[in-house]
Structure 1
Amino acid sequence: MTDTPAALREAHHADVSGGWLRPAVFGAMDGLVTNIALIAGVGGGGVSPRNIVLTGVAGLVAGAISMALGEYTSVRSANEQLAAEVAKERRELERHPEAEARELAQHWVARGLPEDLATQVAEAVRHNPEQALRMHIQEELGVDPDERPDPWTAAFSSFLCFSVGALVPLLPYLLGATSLALALAVGGLGLFVAGAIVARFTNRRWWSGGLRQLLLGAAAAAATYLIGTLIGVQGGLG
């Protein structure tokens, strides 16, 4: 059988429910911004390059683990909440099928369907319990119960991308350089590239996405650098 035009168009949609893109993007950006800000803060305080590396590595490990655990717990909790709502809706359909069919029809009427047609379709769907359940969940909660993100995918994506992002501003130090400015410049380049890549998924201009992330990261680095400088001067760390 050949695919219909509608099916072909559907195949070109991005996967927005697989559970990996959001934590991957969030992890990479958070890793970059966190370690750029950490390095700027302790560097502004006048600590040695060795201590900057120690701070950056500690931030990488702690942040990656925290992000992974947070993503796993968040996605797992959301899935469990959805499962509870699905079970509740299933009970309502078993106990009050006629009332639930009228409720579903009213949702469609509110969307602009003629009342007679909405009622007819709702009655037809009522005789297919699983389809009726899916329709009610989609209309009342706005989600597809069959498309739930995987918590392990979210956790692994977040862990990996945070680690990669956090490693970028550390690379100059790990390769033997001792310049804070160089580390921040490399981190800024990483932010711009990451923002440009994300823009490819969202149909934004690549330079716009890159510049946005660069400016946000620069603001965070400037704030922590200022704080580090003040604390370093006051505490005699310089």
Structure 2
Amino acid sequence: MSGDGSSRRAEIHHEHRDVSGGWLRPAVFGVMDGLVSNFALIAGVAGGTGDTGVIALAGMAGLAAGAFSMAGGEYVSVASQRELALAEIDVERRELQRHPEAEEEELARMYEAQGVEPALAAEVARQVSRNPGTALEVHTRAELGVIPGDLPSPWLAAGSSFVSFTVGAALPLVPYLLGIGSLVASALLSCASLFGAGVLVSTVTARSWWYSGLRQLVVGGVAAMLTYALGSLMGGIAL
């Protein structure tokens, strides 16, 4: 402890990554969805026809349609979630303005429920309630699980989905765009990408790299095989 009379500060021994932002889920889901859905689409069309031009066209159409659909869906979904949160935050703000004593008492009870002694809980609630902004943040965090100034951005979610889906959906198309009209080449690249994407996801989760990689590989592989079988069946019927 220093002897100059300055206040002591708690040491910060670690930092946490952002687990509530709006980018990780749509980005991860976009890559996986783009890769799995377009690989399955290409496999299904390849099962029904040997025309590489038709297969490539179907893959490009799947990429474009999926990317715009994902971006639009994520924007509407996150925007609606954000608007709902803002509406509930406004409800809490009005309650703090109309019934400050009741809200202070409610906050004290919440602290008591967490094991704080009643007298100390009442004092903490009183001090927190002196600042309207702090009181609103504490109440919304405790009651709604959100922070007023840290809500997910619908534009960020939409952009992440669009870019990530496009990247994922483009991978199974690469062999066809390079003139290698082989489903085997597309399948090998897609399987390697599925496993690699799973490994990449494991770096921001608690799962092991091999488990995450194999999980994505199995999910994507099963989807592609089923779609290929369906495409072969439908192609045989059409012929």
TM class, shorter-length: over 0.9
> Structure 1: how far apart are the matches of 2:118 and 2:56?
67
Out of 43, 59, 63, the residue aligned to residue 56 of structure 1 is 59
TM superposition shift of 1:106: 1.7
Aligned partner of 1:5 in structure 2 is 11
Aligned partner of 1:89 in structure 2 is 92
Which amino acid is the alignment partner of residue 5 of structure 1?
A: E
Please show how residues 191-230 of structure 1 align to structure 2 within 5 Å: 191-230=194-233
- Gaps spanning 5+ residues in structure 2: where? 1-7
Aligned partner of 2:68 in structure 1 is 65
Aligned residues: 233
Q: Secondary structure at the match of 1:16?
A: coil
> Structure 1: how far apart are the matches of 2:10 and 2:185?
54
Could you report, residue by residue, the CA deviation over 1:137-169 in whole angstroms, capped at 9, with x for unpaired residues? 011011222211221111111100100000001
2:30 corresponds to 1:27: yes
> Structure 2: how far apart are the matches of 1:211 and 1:181?
19
TM superposition shift of 1:46: 2.2
Which amino acid is the alignment partner of residue 181 of structure 1?
A: V
Aligned partner of 1:114 in structure 2 is 117
Aligned partner of 2:145 in structure 1 is 142
TM superposition shift of 1:4: 5.0
- How high is the TM-score relative to the length of structure 1? 0.93
Show structure 1 runs of 4+ deviating over 3 A.
none
More helix by share: 1
Q: Secondary structure at the match of 1:91?
A: helix
Change (3 A) 1:125 1:75: same
Query: Sequence identity of aligned pairs in percent?
Result: 53
TM superposition shift of 1:117: 1.7
> Structure 2: how far apart are the matches of 1:44 and 1:5?
61
Aligned partner of 1:171 in structure 2 is 174
TM superposition shift of 1:203: 3.3
- How high is the TM-score relative to the length of structure 2? 0.93
TM superposition shift of 1:3: 8.4
Q: Give the superposed CA RMSD.
A: 1.7
> Structure 1: how far apart are the matches of 2:168 and 2:109?
48
> Structure 1: how far apart are the matches of 2:44 and 2:73?
25
- Gaps spanning 5+ residues in structure 1: where? none
Change (3 A) 1:88 1:235: same
Which amino acid is the alignment partner of residue 194 of structure 1?
A: A
Out of 8, 15, 18, the residue aligned to residue 15 of structure 1 is 18
Which amino acid is the alignment partner of residue 11 of structure 2?
A: P
